[in-house]
Structure 1
Amino acid sequence: MTKNSSSSTIVPSTVWLARGRHLGPDPEQDVRRNLIALKAAGVLDDFLDLDPVEAARSTVLYPREESADPGPSARRLFEARWRVADGVMVRAQLTTYDQEVRRTDHEGITWVLAAEAELAWNPEWPSPATMFWPDSDRVAWDHDFAPGVRLRAANHLPQDQNEMRRRLRDHSRNTWYIHIVVHEAMTPDPKGQQPVSTFLPPSLRHRVIEHRATPAQAEIADFAMKRELNVRMPRGGAVVLPTQPRNPDYDADHFTVHSVFLDGSEPTELLARIEEFAQLPQALPEGAEQALNQLRQGWHLLTPEEELAHAQSMVIKYAEALDAMTKSRDLYQEATEAAQAALAEFTDGAGSSRSPAPETARTVGSPLNALKKGLGRFRDPHRQDL
């Protein structure tokens, strides 16, 4: 597992993160079916399906830390391992959670996905999301926490201005995704209604949430974004939204595109801005550091080479522990024999103390000194009596 020395507040360049909600009846079964199919097809090297409680008790590759615990609301822990270009290893964990407060049964199950590669992440690599979740619209795994917002869709902004401002504000704080807003200069045909993210590289496609402003929302969307985020919404254009706290490398004008044709053609300028934004240092959102620690410190799916190395290290540790116990036992035995000898000298072997002759007392010393002498051998077995 790659272990970088980067700041704990910045997403490492090797890491891919996502979080969402699954609204279907059996999310874990959807994951299992996808993992089984991809392993059979040779896409995955291997995968594990773990109960979180049992996983916390089992042997892991690296020492477990308290922060590696997925938490009491965790339902299931899945691990998968695969290789991308040039044999680069990718390891990923997906954890499903019960909602702490579920107002309705339609809020779904929360999931968190963390993946890490041996090298810096390449957007052209396969999306870790599709290693666990089926890349099908029939499986509703891609819902954001905001109601009615999905990853693989063009999500229209609310009609209510206050609700619109609230959504824009919430999506700029502690977000796990890149958010863009596209203004429809006119109502698009079916080709133009498909999300812009479909044109992005595979690994970036599931890191973008697209919001749409209808033709009539041009002014209120511009006002809301100016008020909440200090960016402007050009008519018929698009903007990549900043995150809070604002990245010092973010320039609103640079990440604004003044013309986007929603006719099914590839919006190259907007795609370039999204890819450029994705390269900026991003702060770890709330909950992401725990997911990353869980991936690094709580990893179970070892390669054969890692299993062998782990077994060899355990043999060495057990041998060292046994050697330490043997030495401790020998020292204890020597101390016991010395104490017994001192006690026998003190009691003359008869179970009661004796009164030595004056000349003997002058030669040997008091019984207390004899006992101290014997016990001294235990404290320092290498001591030479003079």
Structure 2
Amino acid sequence: MSNSATDRPKTPDTVWPARGRHIGPDTEDVLRRHLRRLKENGVLEAFTEPPAPEGTPQRVFEARWRVAGDVIVRARLTLVPPQDREDGREWVLMAEAERPWDEQWPSPATMFWPDAADGDDADTAWDHHHSVPGLRFRAVNPLPSEDKAIRRLLRNAAREAWCINLVVHEAMTPDELGRLPLARLLPPSLRHRVVEHRAAPQQLRAVNWAIRELGVWVPRGGAVLLPPDPAPPGYDGPEYSVRDVFLDGSEHTELVDVVRRFAALPKPLPQGADEALTDLRENWTLLTLEEELARERRLVAIYAEALDAMTKSRDLYRDAAEQAHQALAAYRDTPAPAERRHEGAGVPSTSPLQQLTRTFERLRGGAKGLRQTSAPGTARVGAEPGTARDGITPDNARDGDETDATEEAS
């Protein structure tokens, strides 16, 4: 078990999260009947059942009400079939107020699920733990008899940060009044977030052995709050324990104070709560008239900004196109570099490739003439290189040419 907070986002002080499982048939009908009754009694301003995403077995319910006169609370409950169990429906409840949550406000769970004050619907089993079978929120949960089972149950319960786990040791076997859950003494917003574990008088040593790895212990006849995983910053185990808890129906001021301080600690959002909070904020459909007007104004502002950006982009594109056309026209009207050199110098300009081609042509022509001169029948057989043909040597030929030129000059 980790002893420090992870990088998960912190739980906002305006948020009330809860998670559980409903055991029994007609889960959706139970929700609809209760929401309709509270709407008729004026407790809720409105509720709705928005369509669930296609291809998913989820069902979503939204409700809106006011507390402290004018503070609006928005809540969203999602029904999801449990992955490893076929009985019942798992539910996730996320509520958010317009200002920091007050523990004296009504519990959002009672806005969706029937409570003990609702008469015939009081036994509706919606308050089961979502991952640990057998645990309930509104009841006393006796610990198992085996030591290993105690350790496994408390370890699994403490791993979930959706609820507050309170372990109480009975110094002696309580009477009927002492068997009532202590959660009923808590402020309204905390009653449905506490799971109360009860240890029999002979189980004190087994309980402390089971939770020793959590860094806490239960005083004899007392109680302790199990740290969640990860533990919130500033958590000190002994600080959240109570030495004496009298199970005789008397008030428990110290215990209530410890639970309130523990609930007020800054904690990271439980696993999966960030998705539920995002759905509440971004997919909320139950809007008031003022909220609808504000949303339409925001949409108009967004569309205006988008239109302005498109207009600026169009103007920039048009200017760029005009500049491109002007550059293309100027390029077409400008003569080629070879033409400009020809006009300025008055001589044809040839490229290096053309010059190389002409050189090869001259060389090829000279070689052809040499081949014709050396053809058969044009030279005497056995003549030595450099000898004269018909008595004329190259030196005589040059002398004759120079004499003829001198005579012509005379």
Would you say 1:111 and 2:91 are equivalent positions? yes
Task: Specify every segment of 5 or more residues in structure 1 that has no aligned partner in the other structure, as ranges.
Answer: 1-6, 55-71, 340-345, 347-360, 367-386
Residue of structure 2 in register with 1:205 after alignment: 191
Go from structure 1 to structure 2 and tell me whether the alpha carbon gap of 1:289 and 1:321 turns closer, same or farther (over 3 Å shift). closer
| 3-state SS of paired residue (2:62) | strand
Using the TM superposition, give the Cα deviation of residue 315 of structure 1 relative to its aligned residue in structure 2, in angstroms.
3.8
Would you say 1:214 and 2:200 are equivalent positions? yes
> Hey, what's the Cα distance between the residues in 2 that align with 1:250 and 1:326?
57
> Hey, what's the Cα distance between the residues in 1 that align with 2:223 and 2:124?
29
> Hey, what's the Cα distance between the residues in 1 that align with 2:187 and 2:310?
58
Contact 2:34 2:113 in 1 (8 A): yes
Contact 1:123 1:203 in 2 (8 A): yes
> Hey, what's the Cα distance between the residues in 2 that align with 1:210 and 1:162?
19
Would you say 1:365 and 2:350 are equivalent positions? no
> Hey, what's the Cα distance between the residues in 2 that align with 1:318 and 1:232?
60
Using the TM superposition, give the Cα deviation of residue 308 of structure 1 relative to its aligned residue in structure 2, in angstroms.
1.2
Counterpart of 1:209 in structure 2: which amino acid?
V
Counterpart of 1:275 in structure 2: which amino acid?
R
Q: How does 1:241-256 map to 2 (within 5 A)?
A: 241-256=226-241
Using the TM superposition, give the Cα deviation of residue 39 of structure 1 relative to its aligned residue in structure 2, in angstroms.
1.1
Q: How does 1:257-336 map to 2 (within 5 A)?
A: 257-318=242-303
> Hey, what's the Cα distance between the residues in 1 that align with 2:311 and 2:258?
66
> Hey, what's the Cα distance between the residues in 2 that align with 1:260 and 1:324?
67
| 3-state SS of paired residue (2:65) | strand
Go from structure 1 to structure 2 and tell me whether the alpha carbon gap of 1:319 and 1:184 turns closer, same or farther (over 3 Å shift). same
Contact 1:157 1:164 in 2 (8 A): yes
TM-score after normalising by structure 1: 0.75
Superposed CA deviations along residues 28-71 of structure 1, whole A, max 9, x for unmatched, are 111111111111111111111122127xxxxxxxxxxxxxxxxx
> Hey, what's the Cα distance between the residues in 2 that align with 1:217 and 1:274?
23
Contact 2:147 2:206 in 1 (8 A): yes
Would you say 1:233 and 2:218 are equivalent positions? yes
> Hey, what's the Cα distance between the residues in 2 that align with 1:49 and 1:161?
45
Residue of structure 2 in register with 1:90 after alignment: 73
Counterpart of 1:207 in structure 2: which amino acid?
R
> Hey, what's the Cα distance between the residues in 2 that align with 1:239 and 1:329?
68
> Hey, what's the Cα distance between the residues in 1 that align with 2:224 and 2:159?
17
Counterpart of 1:251 in structure 2: which amino acid?
D
Residue of structure 1 in register with 2:143 after alignment: 157
Contact 2:50 2:285 in 1 (8 A): no
> Hey, what's the Cα distance between the residues in 1 that align with 2:204 and 2:303?
69
Contact 2:169 2:220 in 1 (8 A): yes
> Hey, what's the Cα distance between the residues in 2 that align with 1:100 and 1:318?
42
Contact 1:73 1:100 in 2 (8 A): no
Residue of structure 1 in register with 2:84 after alignment: 101
Go from structure 1 to structure 2 and tell me whether the alpha carbon gap of 1:330 and 1:225 turns closer, same or farther (over 3 Å shift). closer
TM-score after normalising by structure 2: 0.71
Contact 2:143 2:199 in 1 (8 A): yes
How many residues get paired? 324
> Hey, what's the Cα distance between the residues in 1 that align with 2:57 and 2:185?
34
Would you say 1:193 and 2:193 are equivalent positions? no
| 3-state SS of paired residue (2:202) | helix
Equivalent residue for 2:108, pick from 128, 145, 153: 128
> Hey, what's the Cα distance between the residues in 1 that align with 2:170 and 2:56?
41
Residue of structure 2 in register with 1:78 after alignment: 61
Go from structure 1 to structure 2 and tell me whether the alpha carbon gap of 1:45 and 1:160 turns closer, same or farther (over 3 Å shift). same
Using the TM superposition, give the Cα deviation of residue 311 of structure 1 relative to its aligned residue in structure 2, in angstroms.
2.2
Specify the structure having the higher radius of gyration (Cα).
2
> Hey, what's the Cα distance between the residues in 2 that align with 1:25 and 1:197?
27
Superposed CA deviations along residues 111-132 of structure 1, whole A, max 9, x for unmatched, are 0000111111100000000111
Using the TM superposition, give the Cα deviation of residue 84 of structure 1 relative to its aligned residue in structure 2, in angstroms.
0.4
Would you say 1:33 and 2:25 are equivalent positions? no
> Hey, what's the Cα distance between the residues in 1 that align with 2:314 and 2:270?
52
Go from structure 1 to structure 2 and tell me whether the alpha carbon gap of 1:308 and 1:250 turns closer, same or farther (over 3 Å shift). same
Q: How does 1:42-53 map to 2 (within 5 A)?
A: 42-53=42-53
Would you say 1:141 and 2:141 are equivalent positions? no
Using the TM superposition, give the Cα deviation of residue 86 of structure 1 relative to its aligned residue in structure 2, in angstroms.
3.6
Superposed CA deviations along residues 314-373 of structure 1, whole A, max 9, x for unmatched, are 34445666677788899999999999xxxxxx9xxxxxxxxxxxxxx9xx938xxxxxxx
Contact 1:73 1:99 in 2 (8 A): no
> Hey, what's the Cα distance between the residues in 2 that align with 1:43 and 1:86?
12
Q: How does 1:318-357 map to 2 (within 5 A)?
A: 318=303
Using the TM superposition, give the Cα deviation of residue 220 of structure 1 relative to its aligned residue in structure 2, in angstroms.
1.0
Contact 1:51 1:75 in 2 (8 A): no
Superposed CA deviations along residues 174-202 of structure 1, whole A, max 9, x for unmatched, are 32011110111122122111110000010
| 3-state SS of paired residue (1:50) | coil
Q: How does 1:173-184 map to 2 (within 5 A)?
A: 173-184=159-170
> Hey, what's the Cα distance between the residues in 2 that align with 1:201 and 1:271?
8
Contact 1:179 1:240 in 2 (8 A): yes
Go from structure 1 to structure 2 and tell me whether the alpha carbon gap of 1:335 and 1:236 turns closer, same or farther (over 3 Å shift). closer
> Hey, what's the Cα distance between the residues in 2 that align with 1:337 and 1:147?
74
Contact 1:74 1:95 in 2 (8 A): no
Superposed CA deviations along residues 196-250 of structure 1, whole A, max 9, x for unmatched, are 0000010011111100001121221122122x31212222111111122233422
Residue of structure 1 in register with 2:400 after alignment: none
Contact 2:166 2:224 in 1 (8 A): yes
Go from structure 1 to structure 2 and tell me whether the alpha carbon gap of 1:10 and 1:331 turns closer, same or farther (over 3 Å shift). closer
